[in-house]
Amino acid sequence: MLIQCTKKLLDELKIKPNSVEAEEPMFCWHANLITVNRRKTIVLMNDSSQYVVALYGLKAKDFKNLDELIINGIRNTFIDEYIKEEIVEQYINHSPGIIYTKTKDRSTVARLNKSCDEIYFCGKKFDEATIYQSAVSRMASADLIRDRKVNYTYTNENLYNDLENFANTSIFRCKSVVLKITLNLLNHKVWRRVIVPMNISFKELHDIIQIAFSWSNYHLHEFVVFEGIKPIVKLCCDEAAFEYPEDLPMILDFDVKLSEYIPKCSGIEYRYDFGDGWEHYIEAEKIIEEFGWNYPVCICGEGNTPPEDVGGDYGYDNFLSIISDPNNPDHDAMVNWGKMQRYGDFDVEFVNRRLKSALNSIW
């Protein structure tokens, strides 16, 4: 595997670049050394797809073992993309060993610098406990880029296409769960059925629900997990919740994965906006051992979601009454307000476009 280093990285490694013949772009990476949160960070960018892998918090001893760190960084990030492990190993073993050389040309270095900027923007999301930053790498690799023919593509999709062509088969293996999420309303039926990876956190499930129900993430939320009819744990979105202790154990939702409670629990309640008091019941309907995609998909649903800050059940019924009566003096203002709140008919195709395009912010 060819690692084409900037002068700054070569100086840090204290090596002279090798002279090598051109390698397939898919197995070539450009690399730069930057500082994030006052920690040395290596940014790797694939020549073919421009996919990014970050190694964070490197110390002097780590640079002596950089070959292994690079391989494991690529391996861990690809696996966290739900790419089949055998395909990841096939990719790594196709071009065994690491060869360090100089950067190729100015245009590629310019793209590398842009990738470094993407990593800078993720500074607050780094995991201080590990060198391997697969979550940050995946976020930085979900960027929209333009090629020389002025065609726009997503970096991660370029990688997926490269790996599919390389392996000549489907590349994803994602253990997932089918969830039916029902909004508890007195006079209306509103529900969504979504397929989500089992390995995501409850914070990521919150992000998915926000998109599936066209909420805008303006308010606090929490999950309550049940065994039978008994609540066993509350998953909170903010540390401030711990200032009001309860008999129920409380955990931050980004620390807990779905697989820790699904399918063992009997059900989950998702509460959003403690003012309007929207309560959703989440039922795990089916486990899919090998789902063919690495992102959530909304299968179907029914009913329109109430607008944000409409005033709960009563306010929603009042809102519907006004917008259905053109003679009501508040009709036009309320219709316009509803549009501002993105109120509209449920559209499963639109929801799925948003779920896919929001991959970087969800993961």
Interval 94-135: pLDDT, tens: 988 899 999 989 999 999 999 999 998 887 889 999 999 998
DSSP 96-152: -S-EEEE---HHHHHHHHHHHHHHHHTGGG--TT-SB-HHHHHHHTS-EEE-TTS-E
How does pLDDT run across 230-261, given as a tens digit for each residue? Answer: 999 999 999 999 998 888 999 999 889 999 99
* 140 in Cβ contact with 81 (< 8 Å): no
pLDDT at residue 362 greater than cutoff 60: no
pTM for the predicted model, two decimal places: 0.84
Alpha carbons 34 and 45: distance in angstroms, whole number: 13
Say if residue 179 is exposed, middle or buried (CB neighbours under 10 Å; 0-12, 13-18, 19+): buried
Residue type for 230, please? K
For residues 356 and 350, what is the distance between their CA atoms, to the nearest angstrom? 10
Task: Look at residue 200 in the predicted model and tell me its pLDDT.
Answer: 92
